[in-house]
């Protein structure tokens, strides 16, 4: 009997060794800091925001929200989209060029084309390789991006929200649309309006390739919608359910990505009463928070604080990494052959044992 037990233990070991290595989740985000620049009294009455700094790629602790700097995305700023290609594993991002960024904290157009670019980022250093300009018209900007499982890159577009840009926008200044970005050229094709109206939306595919949109609560209550991947049209699912301490003030889901199980990880940007990192009247600090969002009912749970509102975290992605990088595994046919061989040995063993008992 002991020999038989040992045989089955060996068989179990081979089967387990043929399974893929377990994976753990790792969250990446892009932050873009603004700086306060003191100007002489003759130039401006009070301090104002100067151009944004180079964006920075971070890893974000999924249990606390604490960011750890990986590297600077040199030459690019105000990144508003980040996702990983499902086939190649490459990190794609949408950012502005810092040399084209204006002195005012608004998104500018250049000859009717919006100055935003598709990049590939090195996840270990943050170094960027430029693919091409998105050449957005209409005074719009990309608020988030998400890959479908077949490698198609979708982008969500929001209107600039500035009255000066209204004449360049075919929709209202706060309307939004769904688009597809060519990952080889950066060329963007608008599919159609979502029919929802806000100033910033995040999008993300779940494990069934359903595309979810989360709107902000500036004009209407924040909502979770499903977007038609052909027309862009939004179907309402439910209102976002903010924690009680976040109800007062503006809440923007800056970016989100599916955790591979049932929820989305996301960045929630909160701005309550007043400007600055000080606590608001509801006891919550202005800034960016790592949260999870239930894809079915819109329930939001806060994990932790990422950064104050002077550092815009508007791009986030979740990656599954193997806990064991190199695990010896059997091929499918090798596994079958091993099982058959071990079963054959077991049959021979049992027959011999039975023959001895009969004697």
Q: Tens digits of per-residue pLDDT, 237-256?
A: 999 999 988 888 889 999 99
pTM for the whole structure: 0.76
| Residue (of 256, 253, 180, 263) closest to 218 by Cα position | 253
User: For 109-133, how does the pLDDT look when each residue is reduced to its tens digit (9 = 90+)?
Assistant: 334 444 789 999 999 999 999 999 9
Distance from C-alpha of 57 to C-alpha of 68, rounded to nearest angstrom: 9
Q: State in Å, rounded, how far the first CA of the chain is from the last one.
A: 18
On the question of pLDDT at 13 being above 50, the answer is: no
Distance from C-alpha of 184 to C-alpha of 118, rounded to nearest angstrom: 9
Average pLDDT, the chain: 77
Q: Residue 106 has what pLDDT?
A: 40
Distance from C-alpha of 193 to C-alpha of 180, rounded to nearest angstrom: 13
Confidence of residue 213 (pLDDT cuts 50, 70, 90): very high
On the question of pLDDT at 344 being above 80, the answer is: no
Residues β-bridged to residue 341: none
The strand order across the sheet containing 234-239 reads 201-205, 211-215, 223-227, 234-239
- DSSP states of 24-66 as a string? EEEEEEEEEE--EE---TTT-SS-EE-PPPPPEEEEE-TTT--
On the question of pLDDT at 75 being above 60, the answer is: yes
CA 8 remoteness from chain centre: 44
Q: What token pair was written down for 265?
A: 């990880």
The top-scoring range by mean pLDDT among 86-95, 100-109, 154-163 is: 86-95
CATH superfamily label, 23-322: TolB, C-terminal domain (2.120.10.30)
Segment 285-293 shows an average pLDDT of 92
Q: What token pair was written down for 299?
A: 């329930």
Domain ranges of the chain: 1-19+331-359, 23-322
On the question of pLDDT at 296 being above 70, the answer is: yes
On the question of pLDDT at 100 being above 50, the answer is: yes
Q: Residue 277 has what pLDDT?
A: 45
Contacts of 257 (CB under 8 A, 6+ apart): 83, 146, 204, 264, 265, 266, 316, 317, 318
Write out 223-280 in H/E/C secondary structure. Answer: EEEEECCCCCCEEEEEECECCHHHCCCEEEEEEEEECCCCEEEEEEEEECCCCCCCEC
178-193: b (≥16 Cβ within 10 Å) or e: bbbbebeebebebbeb
On the question of pLDDT at 215 being above 60, the answer is: yes
Confidence of residue 39 (pLDDT cuts 50, 70, 90): very low
Q: Are 231 and 246 in contact (CB under 8 A)?
A: no
Q: Residue 36 has what pLDDT?
A: 53
Confidence of residue 168 (pLDDT cuts 50, 70, 90): very low
Confidence of residue 144 (pLDDT cuts 50, 70, 90): very high
Question: What number of other Cβ atoms are within 10 A of residue 303's Cβ?
Answer: 19
């Amino acid at each position: 009997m002991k020999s038989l037990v040992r045989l089955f233990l060996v068989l179990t070991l081979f089967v387990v060794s043929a399974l893929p290595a377990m994976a753990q989740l790792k969250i990446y985000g892009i932050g873009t800091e603004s700086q306060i620049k003191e100007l002489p009294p003759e130039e401006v009455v009070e301090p104002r925001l100067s151009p944004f700094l180079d964006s920075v790629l971070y890893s974000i602790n999924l249990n606390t929200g604490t960011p750890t700097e990986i590297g600077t995305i040199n030459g690019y700023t105000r990144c508003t989209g980040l996702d990983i290609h499902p086939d190649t594993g490459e990190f794609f991002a949408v950012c502005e060029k810092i040399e084209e960024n204006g002195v005012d904290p608004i998104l500018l157009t250049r000859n009717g084309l919006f100055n935003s670019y598709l990049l590939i980022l090195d996840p270990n250093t943050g170094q960027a390789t430029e693919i091409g300009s998105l050449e957005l018209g209409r005074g719009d900007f990309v608020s988030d991006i998400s890959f479908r499982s077949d490698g198609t890159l979708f982008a969500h577009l929001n209107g600039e929200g500035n009255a000066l840009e209204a004449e360049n926008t075919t929709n209202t200044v706060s309307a939004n649309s769904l688009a597809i970005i060519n990952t080889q050229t950066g060329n963007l094709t608008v599919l159609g309006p979502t029919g929802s109206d806000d100033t910033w939306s995040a999008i993300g595919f779940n494990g069934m390739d359903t595309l979810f949109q989360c709107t902000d609560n500036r004009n209407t209550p924040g909502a979770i919608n499903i977007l038609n991947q052909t027309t862009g049209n939004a179907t309402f699912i439910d209102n976002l359910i903010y924690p009680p301490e976040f109800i007062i003030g503006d809440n923007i889901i800056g970016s989100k990505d599916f955790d591979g199980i049932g929820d989305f990880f996301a960045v929630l940007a909160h701005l309550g009463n007043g400007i600055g990192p000080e606590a608001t009247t509801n006891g919550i600090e202005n800034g960016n928070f790592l949260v999870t969002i239930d894809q079915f009912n819109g329930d939001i749970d806060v994990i932790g604080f990422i950064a104050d509102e002077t550092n815009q975290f508007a791009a986030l992605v979740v990656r599954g990494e193997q806990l064991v990088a190199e695990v010896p595994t059997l091929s499918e046919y090798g596994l079958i052959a091993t099982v058959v061989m071990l079963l054959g040995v077991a049959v021979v063993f049992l027959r011999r044992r039975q023959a001895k008992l009969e004697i």
